Amino acid sequence: MPDAEDVRRIALSLPDTTEKIAWSMPTFRVAGKMFATLPEDETSIAVRCPKEERDELALAEPEKFWIADHEAQFAWVRVRLAALEDEGELRDILADSWRQAAPSRLLEAHPRLGLPPEG
């Protein structure tokens, strides 16, 4: 089961990512734009997710994804670390959130990062 240290290690391995404490918790930013947080007890993460997808995820897998009340108006979703299958799933979720926050110059430099493998 992935934990807070796995989140930190994977997030910081993504291009141009930094960690900054905000609201008394670790936040991870790409080129200064936040894409993940480790709230309160560090048993979950909050990541960027388009609202339509977020709602579908929370309905399809409520044991894994949920929407925090104070984030409902924003395109963010919470993810329970204990519900993740493995580190690969965590990496995919963080990379997808990174893509949503990264500037175009980084997306162009890393075109496959955070995208599903081509089959």
Structural domain includes residue 46: yes
Structural domain includes residue 27: yes
Total of domains in the chain: 1
What's the CATH number where 57 sits? 3.90.1150.30
Structural domain includes residue 31: yes
Structural domain includes residue 119: no
CA atoms within 13 A on the CB side of 91: 10
Read off the pLDDT of residues 44-96 as tens digits, 9 standing for 90 and up. Answer: 999 999 999 999 999 999 999 999 999 999 999 999 999 999 999 999 999 99
Structural domain includes residue 109: no
Is residue 118 within 8 A of residue 50, CB to CB? The reply is no
Structural domain includes residue 118: no
Amino acid identity, position 46? A
Is residue 57 within 8 A of residue 97, CB to CB? The reply is no
Element (H, E) at 79: strand 76-80
Structural domain includes residue 79: yes
Quote the domain boundaries for residue 35: 4-102
Structural domain includes residue 115: no
Q: How confident is the model at residue 118 (pLDDT cuts 50, 70, 90)?
A: low
